[in-house]
Structure 1
Amino acid sequence: MSNTARSLKEFRDIIGERYHSSDIFWVSREWRPSPSYRHAKKRTPYEVKLDIMMSPRIQHVVEEAAEDRKTPQELLYKEVDSILDEMGHKQQLPVIRWFGYFLTKVMKRIYSGVLVNSESIERMRDVMPDTPIILVPSHRSYADFLLLSYICFHFNISLPVIAAGMDFVSMWGIGRMLRDSGAFFIRRSFGNDKVYWAVFSEYVQSLVRFGEAPMEFFIEGTRSRSGKSLTPKLGFLSVALECFFSGHVPDVVLVPVNISYDRTLEEVLYAYELLGVPKPKESTSGLFKALRMLDEQYGRIHVDFAPPVSARLFCASVGLLDEHRSARAATYSPCLPHTPLANESRAVTDLAYHLVRQQQFNTVLSPFSLVALVLSNHLALSATDAKLGSIQVSEVVREVKWFKSVVETLGALVAIEGDVEKAVLESLKIHQSLVHLTPSNTLQLVKIHSPSVKINPSNLKGHNMSNKTLEIAVSMVMLQHYVNQVLHYLVNPAIITVVMQNLQDRETITKDDLFAKYKFLRSLLSYDFILHKPWEVKDYEEGLKQLDLLNIIEEVSPGNLVLGNHKKLQIILCNLMMPFLSSYEVVCQVVKQEAIEPCSSSKIVRCAQKRAEQCLYDGSLVHPQSLSLDIFNSALSSLVAMGGLKKLRDNGNVKYIVCEEKLDEISNELRKYLLQPEKKDYSYGRISSDYMAEQQKRAKL
């Protein structure tokens, strides 16, 4: 939980300001960014390239590769030169001004505000002269890519140099403009290519050492399609911090940034991707087709910069003191490849998880995230109780107002000021393509998928589901995207509640027994949520305090707990976890059958999705969002980590084989926590009436 209280009053609408002056005059103003790192050395792109080509590491790896490959060094230097041309960034102010003008026009058209915590900007500006800065934003949309540069331009801060994937390079015109705006391009995977590894490492470390501009990278590695934070990728952070561990810089400051969207630009594409339809390849023509989004409204963006994190102070807090760095610097060889020591790797892992958690707790929750949670819970209940019927908007408003107070108790900041009903109705207007407000003032999900959408079965990453299933699943996965944005505030209390919900009425459980069961579910879900193992005791104790505060648990005697009286919130917390636990149980069933012999992950995922579809129709599963491949893949990773599956590597191929005894142990324990719904007919007619609006809209692929 964030240690500092935040307020919506701290946020300043930088797009609203653009309505009161000329956009062209604003982007062409004299731009004097505040000083960055005081020891920075300004270099041209050619000088950057030359420094890297002449570095001891590159010379050493070229000598080694020449010998290994039996290739002249001249050819390898040409390879290095080619990699640097592919990778290298520029910062051309005329291009940056043009981009600023274009982005201003787009954002004024589709967003009602871009609100930035101006106090957090000043906090970052204060530390910039003292140390190299690395910006670490959350990654939910392609819009993240240039948004921080736009904000820095607005506040007269040096523009960041941005680590970007190679996807954009082939886009005619776009790749060059991104490069000229400060992007440097890196491949998604390097394999065993020692030359590329050396060039990449030297490039990143050169940017950190010289500190001529802040650096920006996405620690999640890729955009989160699900709306949840992804497990952090450690490679880039580890390479960047080698400069600190080796003593080349006295410190590095990392600034986690949260970018919160009322509505995600790629919401429909994400839903299809999660259901197994591959994303279309990035192209300039695709970008122009996507410009039809300019006819829709996407609400507001909130951007908050978390307190800067000193690598030196953080490492000291986990036991890696200055003495280690002094000893490391004395033995450091600039020629050798990047090889972090074991205690450095642990510190980098802890730091990476800390950065992601700081991103999470600087979220600004949109009103629609709470609407989605209320609606999703209602749909889960109505799937097993037809008496519930449709939900009135007045009831949604009442539930949002109540749940806002719940999540604020847990430390959340919700973007609702004043009238809750007004905020809910505005959010429904923004999301009218997903949630339909009927003339009778009830809410229904719109059927996004249409049979006219052509999907090539040969390209699918999952099972070839029927159109009837997709008509339900696409909308529900889209809705879950917004529910997921709330879950990091709720996951620990929810796990504890799921365990206790399994108890008989007024049955007690000791804190130690509860912790053992909590650890099991936490380990199982650790690839779906940011649940770092070293935090488990602290998170458990914090979760107990939160549940006590919410009247969900009571301590009837020292160390003995029972469920409290807040049944409504208990049910909601359990329903939030059920789509994940249900998917995990499906995966357990599938691997027990399919992975008797070594089996690929793609086959397991396809079979799991097929079984989940069957379970929806026989009534043993009531959560269409459980069809998400994202959850199936997380389940596979968890089962490997917990010993239920063994990962095998054969000629570069990864396969899995079941460890039956351990898998049975995991599956049997998991089944204790699954709330089995009453068996009901889950025919298409029933799904359609419960989940879909009469008004149908086609997906915008």
Structure 2
Amino acid sequence: MENKIEFKDILLPRDTHFGIVKFMTRSWSPKKTLNLDKEYLPQDIKDLVLKSTYLDSILDAECVRNGVSKHQLRKEVVNYVEEIAMDKRMHVIRWMGVFFLKVSFMMKIGIFVNEPAVLKLKETMGENPVLFLPTHRSYADFCLMTYLCYHYDIELPAVAAGMDFYTMAVVGQMMRETGAFYMRRTLAGAPLYSATLRHYVRTLVGHYGAPVEFFLEGTRSRSNKSLSPKYGMLAMTLLPYFAREVDDITIVPVNISYDRVMEQSLFAYEHLGVPKPKETTGGLIKALHTLNDNFGDIYINLGSPMSIKEYLGHPELSAETLKPRDLQKLTDEQMTHVQKLADHVVTLQQDCTVVTITNLLCIVLMDSLYRNKVLCLQEVESQIGWLIKVLRSLGANVFERDVKSGIERVLTVHRSMMRLDKEKRLRLVSSALMNMTNDVQRKMKGHILKAETMVNAVPIIQVQLYINPVLHYCVPSALVYLIASRGNILKAELYTEYTLFRKLLKHEFFHLEGIEEANFNKALEYCVHNGVLSSSGDVLANRSGDKLHNRSGDELHFLLQWAVIPALTTLFACAEVMRECKKCEHKRALKRVQEITELRKCHPYCLSLDAISNCLQGLVHAEALLKYKVKNDMIYEVVPAVMDRCHHLISSIIPKLRLVFDDSNPVIVHQKQRARL
């Protein structure tokens, strides 16, 4: 299936003399998401919250519970509202827009938007609240939907932001005045704050005539893959629907893809255990000079608007619906609906993934690293052409205008990571040798890795970050192929083992378990149709030894083998460590897995603390591990019979490829200089 999307660069019209200032000072009459009898301004939303019956009842309950006067508690609530609430200052928005455009042109980026989807959404606005749910891959995400709305004359969204920004001098207030509202990372142990936040969000959704935007994943995905969703914020935003305050709510899944993520290098080091630097205004100012570079293009793809009423049906009557609307809370059944909806939206975000030349070039580069074979430019172009066909046949949205010019552009964007040598062959550039300060070593989260390991690992992890967004298209077929490659197998047995591996890798490759049978059948059909497996009745077999196999089939065999090597190898290492330890704390397990991965010289991505944590969670999900808390430590305990089965199955399908990611691999160009971390 070939999916074509019409993208338009919305920055291009601004690239003229006085184009930025003229655009940001124009008359602006935005389309609102709600056409109510009264227009509610940010201050009106705050007033509604403070005068609510709900918060008044909470204050009465807290008075009785804590013996504190209602007047004192009300002052606390007022302070919480001031901490949380968004504002809208048009002069600040215009100046911030000028700054955003200036920085964008300094970074030489284009912002490509699925314009037909935006215009179609805009036409439907005015009847009910709209939630923008974008993927979260970079801090730049905070600006993009706001600028998109300004460009298309849509009311600017109220955007949920973390307290890291709140504490940044000047920046925190400017973000608030352009639509940000702030929320703490945890609500535990602060019932009054929790109640205030919930009611503020509920009021914002039900009365403010602008989209509400938040990141369902809750944090930036350092792996560039979909994370399991957090449910709290979605539950808050849907309460007006369940309480029948609004007739419907529209959810808009959004995928934001980058040619080059600003935090690419930082993310690679965070995977290895180097702590992230604290966000400060001074740090932001210092970082601005690093943005004077070519960062390539950004792709914003809006999925089809989703009606909550159509998805969930009308809210059912319950004991909660007998209460005044202000006092209604989510029932357990409604919370289950919220969780299922959140999981579904993540898969819709995945469906909106835009595969770019950056992703394709990184796949080709990683393929050449696995083969220990340097590719000339013509071979690279040929491989990318083949990959485009493969990914489109798997249902991917591939955006490419001209492969040759696209490769040249991406090589400029990623010149510190990959380049063509004098013979026009594609090479990976190793990272500089790092001297870690004692302070950084002391704060390392995992095993203290050798300098040589870090040098070899960082560039490979950076390449993997641009492969990861594409993997959800390949993983089902790769698992089907690898399981069947061991020898003849019945379809029923293949499906049983496939579902177990999907459980084990649930946190590494997010998916909906409820539709796994359909995904399995599609993957199996794909493997048989493309000649990597043969089918005789209910028996499946590997066709890699078939002499009639063509070059394209061999390439597909190899791609399906290495696509899941890092995940399976990490999973195997986790299983081995837990079989050895029987019971241990989470931090100790992370360190031990990193230690044995370094000793065995596995794929460098297996050193990722994120990947290791995901695989440990997968073993819990498959019931091979028990997980519980003792004081502040998370403890894992082996379930021997289940763990032994998982260990055996994992080891049986890991491809036996010789992996070389050090200076003996001819694809890697090594740097001599040192850097300080």
SS where residue 294 of structure 2 aligns? Answer: coil
- Equivalent in the alignment of 2:421: 438
8 Å Cα contact 1:41/1:212 also seen in 2: no
1:619-649, Cα deviation, whole Å (9 max, x unpaired): xx3x111111111000111111222221222
8 Å Cα contact 1:238/1:340 also seen in 2: no
Q: Distance in 2 between matches of 1:41 and 1:668?
A: 65
- Equivalent in the alignment of 2:590: 605
Alignment of 1:115-264 (within 5 A): 115-264=112-261
SS where residue 182 of structure 2 aligns? Answer: strand
Shift of 1:546: 2.7
1:546 maps to amino acid: Y
Query: Any stretches of 5+ residues in structure 1 without a counterpart?
Result: 316-320, 383-387
SS where residue 541 of structure 2 aligns? Answer: strand
Shift of 1:328: 6.3
8 Å Cα contact 2:500/2:622 also seen in 1: no
Q: Would the alpha carbon gap of residues 422 and 698 (structure 1) be closer, same or farther in structure 2, given more than 3 Å must change?
A: farther
Q: Would the alpha carbon gap of residues 643 and 438 (structure 1) be closer, same or farther in structure 2, given more than 3 Å must change?
A: same
Shift of 1:440: 1.9
Q: Would the alpha carbon gap of residues 308 and 631 (structure 1) be closer, same or farther in structure 2, given more than 3 Å must change?
A: same
Which of 519, 523, 531 pairs up with 2:511? 531
1:694 aligns with 2:674: no
SS where residue 227 of structure 1 aligns? Answer: coil
1:440-490, Cα deviation, whole Å (9 max, x unpaired): 222222122422353622101111000000001111110100011211211
8 Å Cα contact 1:134/1:214 also seen in 2: yes
Segment drifting more, 221-230 vs 434-443? 434-443
- Equivalent in the alignment of 2:521: 541
2:113 maps to amino acid: V
SS where residue 484 of structure 1 aligns? Answer: helix
Which of 590, 612, 628 pairs up with 2:608? 628
Q: Distance in 2 between matches of 1:276 and 1:53?
A: 44
- Equivalent in the alignment of 1:574: 561
SS where residue 82 of structure 2 aligns? Answer: helix
1:350 aligns with 2:340: yes
Q: Distance in 1 between matches of 2:627 and 2:397?
A: 41
SS where residue 653 of structure 2 aligns? Answer: coil
1:640 aligns with 2:640: no
8 Å Cα contact 2:433/2:452 also seen in 1: no
1:658 maps to amino acid: V
1:395 aligns with 2:393: no
- Equivalent in the alignment of 1:461: 445
Q: Distance in 2 between matches of 1:561 and 1:249?
A: 52
2:650 maps to amino acid: L
1:672 aligns with 2:648: no
8 Å Cα contact 1:555/1:562 also seen in 2: yes
Segment drifting more, 109-118 vs 257-266? 109-118
1:259-314, Cα deviation, whole Å (9 max, x unpaired): 11111111000000111111100011111121123321011111111110001111
Runs of 4+ in 1 over 6 A off after TM superposition: 697-701
Shift of 1:101: 0.6
- Equivalent in the alignment of 1:477: 461
Q: TM-score, normalised by structure 2?
A: 0.94
Which of 8, 13, 22 pairs up with 1:12? 8
SS where residue 35 of structure 1 aligns? Answer: coil
Segment drifting more, 437-446 vs 367-376? 437-446
Q: Distance in 2 between matches of 1:346 and 1:540?
A: 25
Segment drifting more, 234-243 vs 38-47? 38-47
Which of 278, 285, 298 pairs up with 2:295? 298
Shift of 1:66: 2.1
SS where residue 114 of structure 1 aligns? Answer: strand
Shift of 1:497: 1.4
1:444 maps to amino acid: R
- Equivalent in the alignment of 2:540: 561
Alpha-carbon RMSD across the aligned residues, in angstroms, is: 2.1
SS where residue 20 of structure 1 aligns? Answer: coil
1:268 aligns with 2:246: no
Q: Distance in 2 between matches of 1:591 and 1:206?
A: 48
8 Å Cα contact 2:436/2:676 also seen in 1: no
8 Å Cα contact 2:534/2:542 also seen in 1: yes
Q: Would the alpha carbon gap of residues 293 and 424 (structure 1) be closer, same or farther in structure 2, given more than 3 Å must change?
A: same
- Equivalent in the alignment of 2:480: 496
8 Å Cα contact 1:123/1:307 also seen in 2: no
8 Å Cα contact 1:433/1:697 also seen in 2: no
Q: TM-score, normalised by structure 1?
A: 0.91
Shift of 1:569: 0.7
Q: Would the alpha carbon gap of residues 604 and 158 (structure 1) be closer, same or farther in structure 2, given more than 3 Å must change?
A: same
Shift of 1:42: 2.6
Q: Distance in 2 between matches of 1:524 and 1:40?
A: 52
SS where residue 509 of structure 2 aligns? Answer: coil
Q: Distance in 2 between matches of 1:625 and 1:255?
A: 33
Q: Distance in 2 between matches of 1:639 and 1:422?
A: 44
SS where residue 616 of structure 2 aligns? Answer: helix
2:200 maps to amino acid: Y
- Equivalent in the alignment of 2:28: 31
Q: Would the alpha carbon gap of residues 521 and 281 (structure 1) be closer, same or farther in structure 2, given more than 3 Å must change?
A: same
Segment drifting more, 232-241 vs 19-28? 19-28
1:414 aligns with 2:398: yes
- Equivalent in the alignment of 2:332: 341
Q: Distance in 2 between matches of 1:540 and 1:345?
A: 29
Q: Distance in 2 between matches of 1:173 and 1:440?
A: 51
SS where residue 273 of structure 1 aligns? Answer: helix
SS where residue 330 of structure 1 aligns? Answer: helix
Q: Distance in 1 between matches of 2:71 and 2:588?
A: 45
- Equivalent in the alignment of 2:496: 516
Alignment of 1:73-152 (within 5 A): 73-152=70-149
8 Å Cα contact 2:347/2:512 also seen in 1: no
Q: Distance in 2 between matches of 1:687 and 1:71?
A: 67
Q: Would the alpha carbon gap of residues 688 and 554 (structure 1) be closer, same or farther in structure 2, given more than 3 Å must change?
A: closer
Q: Would the alpha carbon gap of residues 451 and 353 (structure 1) be closer, same or farther in structure 2, given more than 3 Å must change?
A: same
2:321 maps to amino acid: A
Question: How many pairs were matched up?
Answer: 667
SS where residue 576 of structure 2 aligns? Answer: helix
Q: Would the alpha carbon gap of residues 459 and 652 (structure 1) be closer, same or farther in structure 2, given more than 3 Å must change?
A: closer
- Equivalent in the alignment of 2:546: none
Q: Would the alpha carbon gap of residues 698 and 183 (structure 1) be closer, same or farther in structure 2, given more than 3 Å must change?
A: farther
2:670 maps to amino acid: E
Query: Any stretches of 5+ residues in structure 2 without a counterpart?
Result: 544-548
Q: Distance in 2 between matches of 1:568 and 1:646?
A: 40
Q: Distance in 2 between matches of 1:312 and 1:328?
A: 20
SS where residue 268 of structure 2 aligns? Answer: helix
Q: Would the alpha carbon gap of residues 334 and 657 (structure 1) be closer, same or farther in structure 2, given more than 3 Å must change?
A: farther
1:515 maps to amino acid: Y
